[in-house]
Structure 1
């Protein structure tokens, strides 16, 4: 059967049958994926835009179909939370929290590791993890520099805390945002089904990180308590706007409450984030142009381009075939499917960006849901745990890893691929195995 559409291929006399559409869309997807992996040479946003434009140019999707393939719930959620975080940051909130955290540690390296990791995990649960590392990593670089400690293992610890903490909620990590939107899962669903296992994994991972850093000699204090106090007193105070902070925290609190109530209210999380962030912008009277400049547009456009590339696979029927094969493989044995999907997702997410993988896999599970129904729900949570926690395996496993490495590199601290794996791989192995086995045990 030929596909009736306009585009370059029909113009050249090349018929777009279902089989040829599958071949073309798969080739474009693989090509886009390779470019994303090679981000050192091609920015991933450009790679996604190129893949999306080729999909439309060839005629696999019309511009209208491409636009319809974008999951705007995901885009609105990211956009809204970015705006709330921008205003919170401008108020000086994160500076206040970081300074209090430093005081709690009293300059003790082990306390610095635990306090900042716990703080990062908590922030990542309610903000996206890329945003969290954007303000936590510079603070950690400053603190470790003042205390004459090697910042690299501490930054890596923050990255892993961010990825693990972000696993606990719907809004904490991009894979969860994607799963929540495609599978129509609520904020409470993630708190009940994923958070307990991710929380246990976080504590275990942090203990492993402490052991590794202890063996490497990175937890030895270089300053006395008196010298530590002197460095604090020498640190200049930053800009604080308490009025703005109260407004931003109030709206942030309302947003979280509405996320919890989203299902009874019949609202999508993306719509909630868009509404509350807009109300906050109205309340603050900050320049709209200034707020828009702070939005991570490259991330949003990356998602949009990627959704179009994935839309080509969906439109051509690739996901139906993969879902059918996976369904035959798993059969009715959802218990085995948890381990198969969870561990394979973790391994794949460790070496390729977990965002395109999660979008693709979520579409496959969506196809399977039609045949298996609610009984396959555990597979959604296995995908969440595997894709999010597996991002700690290597430097390229998650967006937060790459962003943190770039921030450290700007300050003269190079985090290498092998250097990251020295800490990330053991921590990821423990957290993934523990979380998935606990989940499997309770759902077998």
Structure 2
């Protein structure tokens, strides 16, 4: 029992760290339900349900197999799977894009001799999911939080993220073009695509998006989504990442107590009162605590939502812990290709550092 408990807390260090910090801050400060942003929590819950449904219906697998059938070269395959990861993550989140597409990519490329290009493809796929998910408020958790926290109008939000996303896509395509053009022969396995379920879950995704944009009351949007999914496929409730939801709750409690400490506020706030400082600060903090908690921790100390939004999304590049999606990809690689994990890490840090420095430099100039 003790071993299982230790294993549980070691399996998700971000959850464990946030739990400990929440307990410490609540014991030294106070616990208050008002610290928690319920709109963000319930929005995430509803989106997780819907996205799990779309994944179960086989939407991404079907698109992936269609692409593979048309790929004659390894470079073409990598470009196609990276573009699918990039654009699908805009609606289905970066985590889902990686969880669905990376295992399929690993399986299909297992017998290919050009291992350097294959591993680079896995790195590009992961970076594409992080970058593509940055466009819309519901693409990743940090965007959803900042969109809600600052009540950013959608046109202004998209005007901020579109430049970064466009630059990222251009950089990725240029990197892919440098890969050798090797002939490719892959046997495509048939997949089950459930059209009726896809239609239902797509409709529920629209309901959740309307709720996020305030066009529907959020309780009604989440309630309707949960009710339909309960009768459609109640097993999807089991697949919800409840630890991530609790992690958000813990960070809200931490931030709520930090805001009550004037000494801490006076120390932190000056570093986030100028756009370029806020951009760099949020990028650097994301490298050590991940970009989702970085967004939650920094937001109360600055009114520069544009710099923070760009910073935490850029901050998903860099280290393995800079984004939860990076850790998911690393775990998948470690499980499927244990002998190549170190090679993957080397390429991951090389590509991510190059992308981060290049795109961040352009964003810094344009900010």
TM-score tier, shorter chain, comes to 0.7 to 0.9
Q: Given the superposition, is the C-alpha separation of residues 241 and 324 from structure 1 closer, same or farther in structure 2, using an over 3 Å criterion?
A: closer
Counterpart of 1:131 (choices 96, 101, 109) is 96
Q: Given the superposition, is the C-alpha separation of residues 428 and 99 from structure 1 closer, same or farther in structure 2, using an over 3 Å criterion?
A: same
CA RMSD of aligned residues (A): 2.6
5+ residue gaps in structure 2?
A: 1-8
Distance 1:257 1:68 in 2: 25
Distance 2:263 2:42 in 1: 27
Quote the residue 1:180 is aligned against: 147
Structure 1 segment 10-409 matched on structure 2, within 5 A: 43-56=13-26, 58-62=27-31, 65=32, 67-104=33-70, 106-145=71-110, 147-150=112-115, 151-195=118-162, 197-210=163-176, 214=179, 219-223=180-184, 227-228=185-186, 231-232=187-188, 235=189, 237-256=190-209, 259=212, 262-263=213-214, 265=215, 267=217, 271=219, 274-281=222-229, 285-286=232-233, 288=234, 290-318=235-263, 320-322=265-267, 325-326=270-271, 330=273, 337-365=274-302, 369=303, 379-409=304-334
Per-residue deviation, residues 381-433 of structure 1 (Å, max 9, x unmatched): 11111111122112221111011000111102415544321111101111222
Is 2:341 the partner of 1:424? Answer: no
Per-residue deviation, residues 265-292 of structure 1 (Å, max 9, x unmatched): 3745xx475245225415x522x2x122
SS, match of residue 277 in structure 1: helix
Quote the residue 1:35 is aligned against: none
Following superposition, the deviation at residue 326 of structure 1 comes to 4.4
Quote the residue 1:375 is aligned against: none
Q: Given the superposition, is the C-alpha separation of residues 144 and 40 from structure 1 closer, same or farther in structure 2, using an over 3 Å criterion?
A: farther
Decide whether the 8 Å contact of 1:129 with 1:172 is kept in 2: yes
Following superposition, the deviation at residue 54 of structure 1 comes to 2.7
SS, match of residue 400 in structure 1: helix
Per-residue deviation, residues 11-64 of structure 1 (Å, max 9, x unmatched): xxxxxxxxxxxxxxxxxxxxxxxxxxxx978722122112222333x24113xx
TM-score, scaled relative to structure 1: 0.73
Decide whether the 8 Å contact of 2:128 with 2:169 is kept in 1: no
Per-residue deviation, residues 228-276 of structure 1 (Å, max 9, x unmatched): 4xx12xx2x23332221221223324444554xx34x3745xx475245
TM-score, scaled relative to structure 2: 0.87
Count of aligned pairs = 354
Higher gyration radius (CA) = 1
Quote the residue 2:4 is aligned against: none
Following superposition, the deviation at residue 293 of structure 1 comes to 0.8
Distance 1:209 1:192 in 2: 25
5+ residue gaps in structure 1?
A: 1-38, 331-336, 370-378
Decide whether the 8 Å contact of 2:164 with 2:363 is kept in 1: yes
Per-residue deviation, residues 168-209 of structure 1 (Å, max 9, x unmatched): 1111122212211211224443223322x1232222320343
